[in-house]
Structure 1
Amino acid sequence: MGTAKHLWLKRYRQTSQNVPLGDIDLFDDNVASPSNNRLMRFLETAGSKCMELLKGFYYDDLSLTEIADRFGYSGVRSATVQKYKCLEKVRETIKQKALVYDDFME
């Protein structure tokens, strides 16, 4: 039994196709990506202050402390709650229009 196991492992190692990670194409160019224009239209429905808050958090990588200072919130908790409310505004707009993920794809 042990001999068969070792012979099987030897054959497996010889016939297996090991490909370096550098040779693998991780990004498929044929996959649709979200449309920035469509996303921006729905983000704009939340208002300019929400747009700035979400941009600061997600794109500018500002901490919630920095956001609280920049937007005049009393603390980190207030900034967190406001960020949640902004996201909920966008989610509600999407629900009202009965949109699905594919509506944002190009």
Structure 2
Amino acid sequence: MIRHIVFFTARDAADLPEIETGLNLLSGIPHARHFEVRPNLRADRLSNADVDFVVYAEFDSEADLAAYKAHPLYQASIDRVKPLRDTRIAADIAAS
């Protein structure tokens, strides 16, 4: 299983609702075993990152992750979110 974790920060706080809507487009892609978009609770006092949203998804295989990224909704989400975001940090890890 592959865990896909992506952190997003907004350029302008006024765009947070639009970013969340754009990220939630990804939920329509059928290749993920599990998918969610959540706002950062900012509960970690030691963090120096001002992350606004976290996308977390699980895939059965690298092929499923690749199919997810090739889906038209993935590009639609990029088109909507990229102009509004400041930072995007992604990691893909194998579950043990």
Q: TM-score, normalised to structure 2's length?
A: 0.34
Considering fraction of residues, name the structure with more helix.
1
Which one scores higher on RCO, CA 8 angstroms, separation ≥ 6? 2
Q: TM-score, normalised by structure 1?
A: 0.32
Q: Which has the larger radius of gyration?
A: 1
